[in-house]
Structure 1
């Protein structure tokens, strides 16, 4: 399964199957939220939140790959992510969309 943000694969003829999308919602635990609050005072990367974003993006990508496979797709093209903060920053939702295609 090819997953890419490109809208075509060079040298491949494609047949459109369907648009696929999914979401992943993640939250950090209370302890990490407190530590992030302290880090916010002194500056620097909030690694707990960076990990949360990476985990949500990875999960959304895994889900979109499974949706493409369930349609019999050879690839999911034009992957796009949208992220939104929920509950004042301690939870986020990542939405992934793409186009499932089959090679002809």
Structure 2
């Protein structure tokens, strides 16, 4: 399934809008990860434990959004965006959302 952050896809036209789709993931780093991240924050630099957590959460959020779009009968998601929030002090919520559509390739 094509997922784009743009409203239009070159060489295609939207023939039907299926509606809003989203995928939500809430993740928590375990105690050991929080301790390692805390130690790294003292020294400074990238906290790879959290980077990996957020990258994985984004992938899962997109996968869930695509699954929802597929269930709606769409073949693409346009205007895809991410949103995130912290829940408590140890959890992160990642949301992937966009508009599920039917795209048709233009002749030529």
Where does the alignment leave 5 or more consecutive residues of structure 1 unmatched? none
Compute the RMSD of aligned alpha carbons.
1.0
Distance 2:91 2:44 in 1: 20
Between structures 1 and 2, the one with greater helix share = 1
Distance 2:103 2:95 in 1: 25
Runs of 4+ in 1 over 3 A off after TM superposition: none
Distance 2:34 2:58 in 1: 20
Distance 2:2 2:86 in 1: 29
Q: Say how many residue pairs are matched.
A: 103
Give me the TM-score of the superposition, normalised by structure 1. Answer: 0.94
Within-5 A mapping of 1:1-104: 1-14=1-14, 15-88=16-89, 90-104=90-104
Where does the alignment leave 5 or more consecutive residues of structure 2 unmatched? none
Deviation at 1:43, TM superposition (A): 0.7
